[in-house]
Amino acid sequence: MVAPAQIRRCLPAELPALVGLLDEEFIFSKGRSVSLARRLPTALNADNCPNLLLACRGEAVAASIAVKRFDWITPERSWRGAMLGMVYTRPAERGTGLASQLLRAAAQSLRADGIAFAVLWTAQPGFYRRLGWTGADCGIFGTFASPGGAASGCTPAEAGTIDRLRLRSAGAYLPRDRTSYQTLPVPAEQLLLRASPGGAAYAIYGLQADRAYVYEFGGEPTAYAALWQDICAAASTVYINECRGSPAHQWLASIRGISWREQALAMWLPLAEPACAPHCPGWYIPFLDRI
C-alpha cells in the first residue's frame, strides 16, 4: 500500500537535496550547466524555504513547487502577487495527482495570506487550465541572425544604476534588490548588465556559446543602438524577450530581419482580490524577475 503524501514546507536542511533533484530534472538532464541555486538566488535560498512546498512520502520528496512572493507596483495601486515555478514530480510519481495537490495547496495558502493573484509560465497550459488558471501573455519573442561586427564600447552597469533608469518608466514593475540582478535564466551561462556610452540606457542579456538572450532594455530608446551593436557583436543568434508595444519592442521592430512571435506562456490565477483579473492580460513581468 502506498503511503499518503504529506504536503509541507521545505526545511533549510532539506534545501540542498531538493536543489539536487531540481538540477537533475531541469538542468543536467538537458545538457545544461550552472545550478538552479545560482540561477535563482531569490527563490532557492534558506530564507525562502517557507515558500518551497514539498509532497513527501515518508522522508522522500515525491514532488515540489517553488513560490516567490512579490509586490507588483502599477500606476494605479500596488498588488501582492506570487509567482510559481519549478513544478517537479519524481518520475515514479507522475500521474498520481501530486502536482495538482501542491498547486491547490499553494493557492489556498496564498489566498489565506491575502495574496491578490498568482502567475506562472508554462508550455503546458492545458494542465493548469484544468486547475482554474487562465492564459494571457503580452510577451513577444524575437529571433535575429546577427551579422556580427565590432562592439560599440558599452560598459558594465551597476545594479543601482540600472534600477534608477528602470524606475523612470511609467509602467508597472516589481521591486528589485542586488540579488535580483544575479538571476541567470535558463539556458544562459553568463549574465551581462551593460550601460550605453553616456549611461542613458541599459540592456540585460545572457550569453550561451554563440547565442544571446535579451531580457530587458531600459532607459532612453535613442541610446539603444550602441547596446544592440554590442549584443550582435557577441552572438550569431539573438533571442529577444520583450513586452508587446513597449518602447524597446517599438525600437527593435524597426530592425530588419527580426522574426517575431507571441510568447503565450503566462497564466494567471486571481486569489484574494478577484478584481485584479481584468488587469492581468496587460501585465508583463520581465524574465529577470521570474522563477
> Domain check: are 206 and 242 in the same one?
yes
Domain residues for 238? Answer: 139-262
Q: 85 has which bridge partners?
A: 66
> Domain check: are 152 and 232 in the same one?
yes
> Domain check: are 31 and 108 in the same one?
yes
> Domain check: are 145 and 209 in the same one?
yes
256 lies in a domain?
Answer: yes
Alpha-carbon span 253 to 261, nearest angstrom: 12
- Which domain CATH number covers 198? 3.40.630.30
Q: What is the pLDDT of residue 2?
A: 63
1 lies in a domain?
Answer: no
170 lies in a domain?
Answer: yes
232 lies in a domain?
Answer: yes
> Domain check: are 122 and 146 in the same one?
no
pLDDT 10s digit of each residue in the chain, 291 long?
566 889 999 999 999 999 999 999 999 999 999 999 999 999 999 999 999 999 999 889 999 999 999 999 999 999 999 999 999 999 999 999 999 999 999 999 999 999 999 999 999 999 999 999 999 999 999 999 999 999 998 999 999 999 999 998 878 999 999 999 999 999 999 999 999 999 999 999 999 999 999 999 999 999 999 999 999 999 999 999 999 999 999 999 999 999 999 999 999 999 999 999 999 999 999 999 999
> Domain check: are 68 and 32 in the same one?
yes
> Domain check: are 276 and 190 in the same one?
no
> Domain check: are 117 and 192 in the same one?
no
280 lies in a domain?
Answer: yes
Q: What is the number of structural domains in the chain? A: 2
> Domain check: are 279 and 200 in the same one?
no
31 lies in a domain?
Answer: yes
> Domain check: are 181 and 85 in the same one?
no
> Domain check: are 112 and 164 in the same one?
no
240 lies in a domain?
Answer: yes
> Domain check: are 116 and 53 in the same one?
yes
Q: What is the pLDDT of residue 258?
A: 98
220 lies in a domain?
Answer: yes
